A and B are shown apart, each in its own frame.
Chain A
Amino acid sequence: SQTIHQWPATLVQPVGSPLSLECTVEGTSNPNLYWYRQAAGRGLQLLFYSVGIGQISSEVPQNLSASRPQDRQFILSSKKLLLSDSGFYLCAWTRQGNEQFFGPGTRLTVL
Chain B
Amino acid sequence: AQSVTQLDSQVPVFEEAPVELRCNYSSSVSVYLFWYVQYPNQGLQLLLKYLSGSTLVESINGFEAEFNKSQTSFHLRKPSVHISDTAEYFCAVSDCGGGSYIPTFGRGTSLIVHP
Chain A interface, number of residues (Cβ within 8 angstroms): 23
The answer to whether A49 touches B102 (Cβ under 8 A) is yes
Q: Identify which of A43, A46, A97 contacts B108 (C-beta below 8 A).
A: A43
Q: Are B32 and A97 in contact (CB under 8 A)?
A: yes
Q: Which residue of A lies closest to B6 (CB)?
A: A43
Find the B residue at minimum CB distance from A9.
B41
Residues of A within 8 A of B49 (CB): 99
**B64 contacts chain A at the CB level, 8 A cutoff:** no
Instruction: Flag the segment in B17-25, B65-73, B76-84, B91-99 that touches A.
Output: B91-99
Is A111 an interface residue, CB under 8 A from the partner?
no
Query: Which of A51, A97, A101 has a CB less than 8 Å from the CB of B95?
Result: A97
Check if A46 sits within 8 Å of B102, measured CB to CB.
yes
- Check: B46 CB closer than 8 A to any chain A CB: yes
B42/A94 in contact, CB under 8 A: no
- List A contacts of B45 (CB < 8 A): 102
Chain B residue contacts of A44, Cβ below 8 A? 44, 90, 105, 108
Residues of A within 8 A of B36 (CB): 100, 102
A43 touches B90 (CB 8 A): yes
Are the C-beta atoms of A107 and B41 separated by less than 8 Å? yes
Interface residues of A (CB under 8 A from B): 32, 42-44, 46, 49, 51, 59, 88, 90, 92, 94, 96-105, 107
A102-B43 contact, Cβ under 8 Å, with A44-B90, A49-B101: yes
- Category for how many chain B residues contact A: 20 to 34
A99 and B108 CA atoms in complex are apart in Å by 17
Question: Which residues of A have CB within 8 Å of B103?
Answer: 94, 100
Contact between B94 and A97 (Cβ–Cβ < 8 Å)?
yes
A-B contacts besides A97-B97, A98-B94, A102-B43, 17 pairs, CB < 8 Å: A42-B107, A44-B90, A44-B108, A51-B101, A92-B44, A94-B103, A96-B98, A96-B101, A97-B98, A98-B32, A98-B51, A99-B46, A99-B49, A100-B34, A100-B36, A101-B46, A107-B41
Closest residue of chain B to A46 (Cβ to Cβ) is: B102
Which residue of chain A is the closest to B9 with respect to CB atoms? A41
The CA-CA distance from A49 to B102 in the complex, in Å, is: 8
